Chains A and B, each alone.
Chain A
């Protein structure tokens, strides 16, 4: 058939295949596919990408991020490293002092230290387990590279090994960082020296593998059992409720009673209690025994043997579960769910309540509320916060504010310190809920930016939907704790006013710095507060709370003295102290918001 022969205008596909017209693309394609160039198919070997091939992109990504960070934001890394070192030094210092004090107690000092190490390990184990369950859902079922990996000729066991490593790294790095100064303190006090590092590594590596395998296996089974896309919601809820329960149980056990053994009948009973392993079948117990045996000179191979063989057995067990269930679970995780939202009286009521705000603001606020309360990964955090608040209030309630050596002066100063602590709690909550607010708009910012919506209105909606609940919480915490401590009306009013101003400032800084350091690409809101910007916010808000507490120190002290000693109060001191604190709070509210507005208007995606 001649190439130039004109053809009748049949179907487009026929025209393309049979008689291509002029044009280099078509000619070239025809030549490439044509008879004269047809070859025998080449034998293709079955490729088998290994573990290293699968891990390479992850390592390259980490390296690229670090290099990019080093070039563009060297000061960020320096600051993060400095804060990390300060944190380590702080934990190490506290740990060393505490262990020194314990060691000085004859007979039971070392036993107590071992018991406490066991408690630390069991806490780590629970945290690691929960963290691995949540992370495994992302790495094994929701990660963007899964389609590529599953469709490629990769051995399922290799996928398992790579994904398990990924889960383990994501879940364990923070706990590992926390464990380093604890091991350091034990090594320091018990004269372990540099060899402590070897013992710590020998214990820690198998110790983190076991919860990683269990977490991955649990997630695999949960995804197999539950309706597909609900699993993430269910898991988040399970994890948060478990964490909340753990905190509450731990608090109710009052571990500090361990060092005040008044409740135990005799010393012999107490020593017997300390010697008895509380959970002999848990890796946390083996880890504690391993480290203490090494440090105490009575080295025992058994805990190390148990840890390493259990970790190895766990990996084999995990691989079996993966091989048996993963394929079906992965398929199930891809299915979409039917999610109907029916009209409710609450929605109508809320819509009517917000009517005075006008159409634009009402819709913005409604959108914020709906998005928050329909996402269990977001609202479930409220459970954890509620538990932390209860624990906080309980601690205040049990403060020994009566009895020998407790003065009325102290009673009126504690609420002022309470303000500082409450401020820190508020900052942590704002970091979780208000700081990510603008980042969460990342993927939908096109809609807001292409509409006539002024960015000021967006910030307005985000500020108030975050600040009002925070304010209720702040006034609630301070009001209840003040009432429990039976403070004077003056202290009550000033602490309520102060915490109100602190709340506005903390919310303003959270929203402002969240806009200045956005994480538009992050899909998981929980990861945003742990970013560099989140760190800057926590430093800034803690600094502000510190400044307010310091500025109010003098007027509070003068007031306490005037009540107790009858010394006259200079109102200028009051006005200066409280006035400067108020000014600082107002500046910290408005300046970050103004900067955020400019940044948001200039944002390009």
Chain B
């Protein structure tokens, strides 16, 4: 079965700096794949290439079997993207923003209005529907963007740091939403630094460091790759990505 997302030799260079180095990765349909890595590892760059925001220097991205470079509109129509920083039009109301996003996917009318109300109610934003986005808090903006990503019923959601800025209730709702969503045959690829979220939510994990995939698979498969048998994702993550941090902490506190 064709994976929902397939990355082949995906590379991104900025001058002499290689941010993403010939990545090969497959995201199967109906699964949540967690994309982990230290800061500056190349997670956001990879996700932005998948979303069609950045053009790869080399390699291909296919969404549902469609090459995003060759048929960008068809590939993007299958996808919803949630960025890590919630920049949206400050002078639109929440409802207007959602209608605008629906319009970008060619959708309008009663069905959109109904879906919009559902999503806003889910995230406790109904009362803020007619208020300008400029008065929303960081978390409310994040919730609005998450709602917009689900609005056009995409087959795959690509999400960068979904939990940042969310209150515990919204975080819980989002986790439930993600699980329900994949149980209906859809797919999610998400980057996160919250290892607890990745451990409990993701079917598969891919760990990236220095622009290269260090390990990918289920938790069991990943444990098998780390010979000493790490306990938990945190330790596994640290072993794979190095423990320099420990030395640095000691040095900082000793000064």
Contact = CB atoms under 8 A, between A and B. Distances in A.
A24 interface: yes
A341 B131 CA distance: 6
B111 interface: no
B55 interface: yes
B249 interface: yes
Contacts of B99: 363
Interface stretch (B3-11, B83-91, B169-177, B205-213): B83-91
Contacts of A337: 135
B100 A363 contact: yes
B88 A447 contact: yes
B130 A340 contact: yes
Contact of A339 (B51, B79, B100, B132): B132
Interface of B: 48, 51-55, 72-74, 76-77, 79, 81, 83, 87-89, 91-93, 96, 99-108, 130-132, 134-135, 137, 148, 231, 235, 238, 243, 245-247, 249-250, 253-254
A27 B130 CA distance: 52
Given A359-B106, A363-B108, A366-B96, 5 more contacts: A336-B134, A340-B132, A444-B87, A447-B148, A454-B73
B103 A370 contact: no
Contact of A452 (B73, B88, B253): B73
A604 B53 contact: yes
B105 A443 contact: no
Contact of B254 (A25, A32, A343, A448): A32
Nearest to A23: B235
A338 B104 contact: no
Nearest to B245: A25
Interface string A341-374: 1110000000000000001101110110011001
B246 A24 contact: yes
Nearest to A604: B54
Contact of B243 (A25, A340, A342, A605): A25
Given A33-B253, A450-B76, A452-B77, A371 B105 contact: no
A31 interface: yes
A364 B89 CA distance: 12
A21 B130 CA distance: 51
Q: Give the interface centre of B91, B92, B99 by most chain A CB atoms within 10 Å.
A: B91
A29 interface: yes
B50 to A, nearest CB: 9
Interface in A1-29: 21, 23-25, 27-29
A70 interface: no
Contacts of A155: none
Contact of A25 (B100, B107, B249, B253): B249
A341 B100 contact: no
Nearest to B80: A450
A602 interface: yes
Interface string A437-461: 0000001111111111110000000
A331 to B, nearest CB: 17
Contacts of A53: none
Contacts of A449: 51-53
